[in-house]
Amino acid sequence: MRRLLLATLVVGFAIYTIATAVTLVQPGELAVVRRWGRFLPDRSGAGLHIGLPWGIDRVDRVSVGSVRRVVVGFRDDASDSATGQMLTGDHNLVYAQAEIDYIVREDAIDEFVLLADRADALVARAAESALAEWIAGHAVDEALLRGRAALPAILVDDINRRLEPYKLSVRVEQASLTRLNPPDEVRESFEAVAQAQTNIRTKINAAEEKADRKRREAAAEQFRLKSLAAAYAQEQTLQAQAEAQAFLNRLDQYRKISKEQPNYLNVLWQDEVTKLFERLRERGGIDVLDRYLGADGLNITQFPLTKKKS
């Protein structure tokens, strides 16, 4: 009888040991082990974790790969009609609801294990406080018109700041505002105001876009004209420099030759007159006074106009 009882106890203890010492850790989870209440440094990933029986080891499986979500504020199924009502800075009521997504910080998972059963409640409390504070700091028109766009980023930063003293070791990744409405009695009026504000903003945006396009076109035209002016100025400068250099070269040549040939100026004049006559003939006739310096002074020659043959 004693042997049977002893065998039963041994078998029972073996079953108890196996049942409580083996833990199946799912993908995306980490096994946090407390032995005699003290955290062990090792973390077991997906697979079987084998430790000591329950009472010696306590194993908490923590999902570190999934996003956790809490909903705060207004609820359709709430028994209290005041749930989700928040007071604006000018003492008007609005209904607000937000969804907060957070993850567990793997680098401080021990702290999370101690408060895991209260994590959702703490995140929700911080989110409600941040949401109510922002709404209370703005008038109803501003809260309803700006809240949906401005609040998500503000809530992420504010909730993370509020959670730091709790040492919850979670990080809010995203916040979305799913509801921000006035009471049903005045909803139509607020929607009309919001629509009017949207139309005004649309027209302002269209006007600003048109003005910006005109400014870009004017700047492009200004740049084009400046480029043309700069190119023309450069071209004229180079041409003037070339002509000036050509004149200086001819002047230098004249000074050298005139010392040996006193009539060299007359030769140059005759050359230029010849070129002029050729151009006049090409145009159909010659009717000019030809003034040039001869060896004995000033001679004046007149050429009669000859009509161009048709």
- The alpha helices in 115-186, defined as continuous H runs, are 119-136, 140-163
Give the separation between CA 301 and CA 304, rounded to whole angstroms.
10
| pLDDT value at residue 133 | 93
Q: What does pTM read for this prediction?
A: 0.55
Give the separation between CA 304 and CA 310, rounded to whole angstroms.
18
The kind and range of the H/E element at 205 are helix 187-258
| pLDDT value at residue 219 | 94
- Considering only 153-167, 176-190, 232-246, 255-269, which range has the smallest mean pLDDT? 255-269
Whether residue 86 contacts residue 131, with contact meaning beta carbons closer than 8 Å, is answered with: yes
Q: Which domain holds residue 32?
A: 2-63
In a domain, 212, yes or no: no
Nearest to 45 by CA among 57, 62, 70, 22: 62
In a domain, 156, yes or no: yes
177 shares its domain with 72: yes
112 shares its domain with 30: no
Confidence of residue 18 (pLDDT cuts 50, 70, 90): low
Confidence of residue 14 (pLDDT cuts 50, 70, 90): low
Whether residue 88 contacts residue 135, with contact meaning beta carbons closer than 8 Å, is answered with: yes
- Give the CA dihedral 119, 121, 124, 125, nearest 10 degrees: -110
89 shares its domain with 163: yes
- We report the CATH number of the domain holding residue 89 as 3.30.479.30
Q: How many domains does the chain have?
A: 3
**pLDDT tens digit sequence for 100-134:** 999 988 888 888 888 888 999 999 999 999 999 99
104 shares its domain with 178: yes
73 shares its domain with 178: yes
- Give the CA dihedral 35, 41, 46, 47, nearest 10 degrees: -50
In a domain, 222, yes or no: no
**pLDDT tens digit sequence for 35-79:** 787 777 777 766 666 666 666 777 777 878 788 999 998 876 655
Mapped onto helix, strand or coil, the DSSP state of residue 173 is strand
Domain endpoint, select from 13, 47, 63: 63
Domain endpoint, select from 164, 182, 200: 182
Q: How far apart, in Å, are the Cα atoms of 25 and each of 107, 165, 255? A: 18, 30, 107
Nearest to 88 by CA among 45, 126, 40, 145: 145
- Give the CA dihedral 135, 137, 140, 142, nearest 10 degrees: -100
9 shares its domain with 94: no
In a domain, 192, yes or no: no
**pLDDT tens digit sequence for 167-218:** 888 999 999 998 888 877 767 777 787 788 788 989 999 999 999 999 999 9
159 shares its domain with 77: yes
> Percent of the chain scored above 90 by pLDDT?
32
Task: Read off the DSSP letter of residue 54.
Answer: B
Instruction: Tell me which of 278 and 167 has the higher pLDDT.
Output: 167
In a domain, 249, yes or no: no
In a domain, 220, yes or no: no
Domain endpoint, select from 182, 206, 232: 182
User: What are the residues whose beta carbons fall under 8 Å from the beta carbon of 40, sequence distance 6 or more?
Assistant: 33, 34
Task: Read off the DSSP letter of residue 53.
Answer: P
170 shares its domain with 75: yes
124 shares its domain with 74: yes
Nearest to 258 by CA among 228, 282, 293, 302: 293
In a domain, 111, yes or no: yes
